[in-house]
Structure 1
Amino acid sequence: MGECGTLVTESGVVYMLMGEYRHNMDTKGRLIVPSKLRDSLGDSFVVTRGLDGCLFVYPMYEWEKLEKKLQSLPLTKKDARAFTRFFLSGAMESGLDGQGRLHLAPPLRSHASLEKSCVIVGVSTRVEIWAEEKWENYMEDSRQELESITENLLDLDL
């Protein structure tokens, strides 16, 4: 991670995944990835079950960092095993087709309740894919709690 939350790849290219985009998934589970996010994701990336009912999409260089952190979790801790199992069992390496679409496997679509209307969100080191209705509900709940969230984060010197 470079200054101001930017990502620096091994090749020295600087990216930050950000923005909110809306696209429809087709009946075959293909979803257009916005062009502004494609370069940051690269030719190959990992899609997995995310938290809060969405999918997480990691550029390969970020996935490798995360994988090392997961490997360092203690095998003797039940929570560590459960989290690693949840996160890795749903992971799949993927790429984009010639039209900039990502194919989402049925188990991933099911986890995030993806049917048609999707929201693709850049969140610094990853992309999140949400069902539009879930995203709207999440944002509404977050708006209501924003003051306390902000107070908690200010304690972290942000």
Structure 2
Amino acid sequence: MFMGEYQHTIDDKGRLTLPARFREGLGDSFVVTKGLDNCLFVYPMDEWKQLEQKLKALPFTKKEARAFVRFFFSGATECGFDKQGRILLPANLREYAGLEKDVVIIGVSTRVEIWSKVNWDKYSKDAEADYEEIAENIVDLDIQL
């Protein structure tokens, strides 16, 4: 399980060091793709394969399903760590997430998310303001907090 929030920087070549705890959970090979809310999603290979099966089950006759699957998979790339524990993020993914220098890496249960610090600060500030309301609304999902 991935959890926590970490501040890092991305270098001029697009290399980013992930926290050691996350490196262990991701393994030697993992997938980075365009996430929601203008961040990147990082999946261990076993989680990626499970997600891939679920997405394959979406009805291809539905325009929204086709659009989502195309966008999600077209942005996906298989990654690994270099000897310094860094990953190389392709330019198209850095551009999508607005990654320039300061980034925030967060653990979200089964995946890791990579955010630009600016986007994360805005998102977390907005979410924090609605935190209690969000918690009330997810009670309908039978989740006990």
Report the AA paired with residue 33 of structure 1: L
Provide the C-alpha distance between the structure 2 equivalents of 1:37 and 1:143, rounded to a whole number of angstroms: 24
Secondary structure class of the residue paired with 2:83: coil
Q: Where does residue 87 of structure 1 map in the other structure?
A: 72
Once the 2 structures are TM-superposed, how far is the Cα of residue 147 of structure 1 from its aligned partner? 1.6
For structure 1, the 5+ residue unaligned runs are 1-15
Q: CA RMSD in A?
A: 0.5
Correspondent of 1:30 among 15, 19, 25: 15
1:7-156 counterparts in 2 under 5 A? 16-156=1-141
Report the AA paired with residue 61 of structure 1: D
Q: Identify which of structures 1 and 2 has the higher relative contact order when contacts are C-alpha pairs closer than 8 Å and 6+ apart.
A: 2
Provide the C-alpha distance between the structure 2 equivalents of 1:113 and 1:31, rounded to a whole number of angstroms: 14
Scaled by the length of structure 1, what TM-score is found? 0.89
Q: Where does residue 4 of structure 1 map in the other structure?
A: none
Provide the C-alpha distance between the structure 1 equivalents of 2:54 and 2:140, rounded to a whole number of angstroms: 25
For structure 2, the 5+ residue unaligned runs are none
How many residues align structurally?
143
Percent identity between the two aligned chains? 60
Report the AA paired with residue 133 of structure 2: S
Secondary structure class of the residue paired with 1:53: coil
Secondary structure class of the residue paired with 1:96: coil
